[in-house]
Amino acid sequence: MFQRQERMIALTFDDGPLPGPTNEILDILSENQSRATFFVLGNNVTKHRDVTRRIVREGHDIGVHSFSHPNFQETEIYEVYRELIDSTLLLEDLLGILVKYVRPPYGFSTAETQFLFDQIGLQSILWTYDTLDWEILNAEQIASNLLENIQAGDIVLLHDIHPTTIQAMRIAIPKLVDQGYKLVTISEWLEVQENPFK
């Protein structure tokens, strides 16, 4: 059980899984006795089922990031529904677990899509700190920015599809742990927000 006063960070990784990068991230997390959350694309899950299983087997959270990464603000609601249902059912059938979280692509949603999330039973999870790893593509800069700007309680946006992000995590994760941060799943992060005095 984590306490509110502990220095918690929730690292989240979007757009995978991919065998090389995602497995490397999982290795780094394991080496540092840390956990994270992976928001996966259904079309990647269909091709990389073993990596998807490994995410859950090693104690990390998994959530839906759609099937093919459309912008939900520009997508008909029935297509959004299909993106979510196809991904959720795929994960639940593959993993035998209830999928609880969604991160809309680009973080974009509408009142209509938020209502749809609720109807399907998915909690929307965004972020409080964006590493811009998809744009910077420089491992040292990504790691430096993260280490200099991170605050306890942050939900960090990352992508487990870029080699530079994996290199940045090799730098940043051991340092965060050495600094006393606990790297947790979204489930653990939410539990502390909801039960601060446990």
Residue 88 in any domain: the answer is: yes
Spatial neighbors of 181 by CB under 8 A, at least 6 apart, are 7, 8, 9, 150, 152
* Domain assignment of residue 98, yes or no: yes
Per the annotation, the verdict on 65 as an active-site residue is no
Number of independent structural domains in the chain: 1
The verdict on residue 185 lying in a domain is yes
pLDDT at 1: 44
For the chain, the 3-state helix, strand and coil shares in percent, each to the nearest 5, are: 50, 15, 35
pTM for the full predicted model: 0.95
Does 154 participate in catalysis according to the annotation? Answer: no
Res 20: pLDDT:
95
**Is pLDDT of 198 > 70?**
no
Which of 14, 61, 154, 160 is the catalytic position? 14
Q: Which of 61, 159, 160, 162 is catalytic?
A: 159
The confidence score (pLDDT) of residue 2 equals 47
Burial class, 50, CB count within 10 angstroms (exposed 0-12 / middle 13-18 / buried 19+): exposed
Q: What's the confidence (pLDDT) of residue 193?
A: 81
Q: What percent of the chain has pLDDT over 90?
A: 93
User: Does residue 3 lie in a domain region?
Assistant: no
**Domain range holding 111?**
8-194
Classify residue 2: in a domain, yes or no. Answer: no
Residue 105 within any structural domain of the chain: yes
CATH code assigned at 147: 3.20.20.370
Read off the pLDDT of residues 136-184 as tens digits, 9 standing for 90 and up.
999 999 999 999 999 999 999 999 999 999 999 999 999 999 999 999 9
Query: What average pLDDT does range 123-141 have in this prediction?
Result: 96
- Domain assignment present for 169: yes
Residue 195 confidence (pLDDT): 62
Helix (H, G, I), strand (E, B) or coil at 113: helix
Compute CA distances 61 → 110, 142, 151, whole Å.
25, 23, 21
pLDDT tens, position by position, 62-75: 999 999 999 999 99
